[in-house]
Amino acid sequence: MVTGGNAGIGYFVAEQLAGAGATVILGSRDTTKAEAAMTTIRSRVPGADLRNLRLDLADLSSLKSSVDALEDDRLDAVVCNAGVLLDQRRRRLTSEGHELMFGTNHLGHFVLIRWLMPLLTATPASLVVTTGSFVGKSTRLDLNDLQSSRDYQPKRAYARSKLAQMLFGFELDRRLRAAGSTTLSVVNHPGGALDSLTPSRPPVHARSIGQRLRSLPAGLVLQGKEAAAWPAVRAVLDPSVHGGQMWAPRMLGFHGKPRLESLRGQLADSTLSARIWDASVDLTGVDPGSALG
């Protein structure tokens, strides 16, 4: 399963996994866009085995029903890719009262994993792959104001949501290991991904010749979303990947083939990760650890 598999980096994760022979479930809240993405993938990967699952990560109360609709008894991997990035100064909330970026990017995946966990643990060596962001490494969480109710700044709120996601991914792996599970939790970040460097996939994404030419200098440092999908795809497909790792672009974490990135600072802070986990349980009323048995 790829959340947000209908567009952006998630689309390319889905396309590349389908090209490797996987059955891919595109988790998307927009069925029309998911159908367009599946049509585009099939035009490039004849015979691709694709399905769509309606998934609204901003509506936590809907996620159990969405997972129940799968009617599957196992799941090899889930790529927690979907995300919301806002630039408006006005702080927006989900219907349940959570700050929209934190509530979708982090809490939505936190709850989704809770309901997917029985399918994952039923599958030997299954994977949870959480897509963070390099901007998450440059911020700090305020444990007394995780949802930025004071002094809201959209870019900082987004960075905090991605840091919380990454910390969840690492803490999940610690708890899986402690429970003796063979399911692994891996974190990745895609580097700097620009639409103008992304190859066209109409109608999902279109790039003009002018955009391509103007973006060539940026390509020395950044990359398109096709390449930005590589760390997540590597995490799913490479049998040498281990739980608790982080995979990122090779060149300064911004572009290039995936490499293993060492954990430093907050990302290596197990106490902070455990506190974020506990706060997320309090905010959502569910605990993914309760499904570990």
Catalytic residue among 12, 110, 115, 158: 158
| Residue 152 three-state SS | coil
Distances (CA, A) of 44 to 10, 14, 51, 278: 16, 12, 16, 43
CA–CA separation, 96 and 81 (whole Å): 22
Give, for 183, the enclosing helix (H) or strand (E).
none
CA pair distance 194, 222, nearest whole angstrom: 7
Residue whose pair of structure tokens reads 């399918």 in the numeric block: 119
Per the CB < 8 A criterion, the answer to whether 103 and 122 are in contact is no
Question: Which CA distances in Å does 102 have to 133, 163, 232?
Answer: 14, 10, 21
Give the span between the Cα atoms of 231 and 79, in whole angstroms: 11
The answer to whether residue 158 is catalytic is: yes
Residues annotated as part of the active site: 158
